[in-house]
Amino acid sequence: MSKDVWGFQEPVDRPAPQWEINSQTAAVRAGLARSGFGETSEALYLNSGFTYSSAQEALESFTDETDHFVYSRFHNPTVAMFEKRLAAIEGAQYCVATGSGMAAMFASLACLVEAGDHIVASAAMFSSCHVVITEILPKWGVTFELVKANDRDAWEKALSKPTKAVFIETPSNPLMEIVDIAFVSELSHRVGATVIVDNVMASPVLQKPLELGADVIMYSATKHIDGQGRVLAGAILGSFSYIHEKLIPFIRHTGPTLSPFSAWVLVKSLETMELRIMRMCESAQAIAEFLEKRKEIKSVRYPGLASHPDRAVIKKQMSAGGTTIGIEFAGTQKDAFKFMDSLRIIDISNNLGDSKSLITHPASTTHRRLSPDIQAESGITPSVLRLSVGLEHVDDLLKDLDQALSS
């Protein structure tokens, strides 16, 4: 850059810490790439393209012989900061960001499979993920088998034959079913399968799938990672071989790119992610315990409750219960709707992991795409609600729930 630009100085790298930093420090510092202006906050690079000092440098950039940004559909400095930071938090070798969570989910599988391959997946999952596995990929000649989350015998049977990929959502949306990641990963690796974990409901703060034996993690970063209802985004994390040999060639030529602005929002969100999620977990625990005692509620599914049927696995792989509660009303859909409409603070919305508390009726919204039979098999009855607990004071949330239940 020209020296005529006031305040610009060539950046100087200082020595890195000689100890392993905490994940919360990584959430604030990892991936930071300051320009010559010495900005405190991360810079936002909105450009689509990049220039080269010579034709030879351009050639070497396109052949990956030199480290140089080429085009923001491939890579961008702000997006790279987000990817490096999230990878550091997860302890992953590499991360690739996408424009939405479903773009990440689809790409994580589509880059692996081809006609004749077989996928095994947990039966309880977000409805769009269900559509990808049971409707879209079969058009490519990919077969599938769905397994109940906590049925160990069924997992052993399903993973006794050649399988290309295993897709796990744990906890599941909306009823918080749990898959034993370590157990399923061990079975999967015996048959050469790549294990992909949708870690959205637990977040990077509460569950570390790679440490439990999984190969790949995917996120809707729209949820807890942003956590403030601003951007759509996704992320995929894994090893060098998976990311560079499988995923990046697929991503580059199909274009599910994350915008630099959204990446900048996410970089800043990561700084407060742990603080937000732990506060939300504390409130969710108190609310789940409150709801479990109410006569209007038939059952409460929350990983932090002693009554959860998979409590032993939860204690092994999650550090807290999470921010989302599955609620089954004792009455009908009409009763559930009346309760939702009576709330004065909690919003009716189909998002989750947000700083604002949100409630939805999965059967008619987020999981409407599933057939009535599949909804019934998954326990998503007309009386089931999903509550995402936010950052409001827990006393206000409890009062809101109490008055709505009593109305």
Residue-wise pLDDT for 136-145, tens only, equals: 999 999 999 9
In angstroms, the CA 141 to CA 133 distance is 11
pLDDT, tens only, 284-308: 999 999 999 999 999 999 999 999 9
Measured distance CA(211)–CA(101) in Å, rounded? 22
Give the model's pLDDT for residue 84: 97
Domain ranges in the chain with CATH number 3.90.1150.10: 273-406
pLDDT recorded at residue 373:
86
Helices 394-406 and 260-292, axial angle in degrees (round to 10): 60
Q: Which CATH superfamily is domain 273-406 in?
A: Aspartate Aminotransferase, domain 1 (3.90.1150.10)
What is the average per-residue pLDDT within 110-123? 98
In a 3-state reduction of DSSP, which class is residue 284? helix
CB atoms under 10 Å from CB of 332, counted, come to 12
- Residues 172-222 have pLDDT tens digits of 999 999 999 999 999 999 999 999 999 999 999 999 999 999 999 999 999
Q: Would the pLDDT of 131 be above 90?
A: yes
Task: Give yes or no for a cis peptide into 171 (omega within 30° of 0).
Answer: yes
pLDDT class of 108 with cuts at 50, 70, 90:
very high
- pTM comes to 0.95
Tally Cβ neighbours within 10 Å of residue 219. 27
pLDDT at position 3 is 58
Q: CA angle 107-110-116, nearest 5°?
A: 170
On the question of pLDDT at 345 being above 90, the answer is: yes
Question: How far apart are alpha carbons 234 and 108 in whole angstroms?
Answer: 11
Closest by CA position to 205, among listed 75, 322, 99: 322
In the prediction, which pLDDT does 2 show? 53
- How much of the chain is in helix, strand and coil states, percent to nearest 5? 40, 15, 45
Q: Which architecture characterizes domain 23-268 according to CATH?
A: 3-Layer(aba) Sandwich (3.40)
Q: What pLDDT score was predicted for residue 371? A: 83
Segments of the chain assigned to CATH 3.40.640.10: 23-268
Kindly tell me if the per-residue pLDDT of 403 is higher than 70: yes
Residue closest to 225 by CA, chosen among 93, 351, 360:
351
Q: Mean per-residue pLDDT for 356-380?
A: 90
Residue 97 has pLDDT above 80, yes or no: yes
- Residue 330 has what pLDDT? 94
% of the chain with per-residue pLDDT over 90: 92
Mean pLDDT for the chain?
A: 96
Residues 336-353, mean pLDDT to the nearest whole number: 97
